[in-house]
Amino acid sequence: MDIPMSFYLLVSFVMFFAGVFGFITRKNMIAMLMSLELILNSVNINFVVFNRFLFPEQMEGMFFTLFIIGVAAAETAVAIAIIINVFRSVNNISADDIQKMKY
Q: What part of residues 80-99 is at the interface with another protein (CB under 8 A)?
A: 80-85, 87-89, 93-96, 99
CB of residue 50 to another protein, shortest distance in Å: 9
Measured at the CA of 21, the angle between CA 17 and CA 25, to 5 degrees, comes to: 170
Q: Kindly state whether residue 46 participates in binding another protein, applying the rule CB under 8 A.
A: no
The binder of another protein chosen from 43, 67, 90, 97 (CB under 8 A): 67
CB of residue 97 to another protein, shortest distance in Å: 11
Query: 55 in helix, strand or coil?
Result: coil
Q: Kindly state whether residue 69 participates in binding another protein, applying the rule CB under 8 A.
A: yes
Q: Kindly state whether residue 43 participates in binding another protein, applying the rule CB under 8 A.
A: no
The binder of another protein chosen from 4, 43, 90, 97 (CB under 8 A): 4
- Measured in whole angstroms, the distance separating CA 15 from the mean position of its chain's CA atoms is 10
The two counts, helices (H) then strands (E), for the chain are 3, 0
CA nearest neighbour of 73 among 48, 81, 11, 50: 81
Q: CA 39 to CA 94: how far, in whole Å?
A: 21
Q: Kindly state whether residue 100 participates in binding another protein, applying the rule CB under 8 A.
A: no
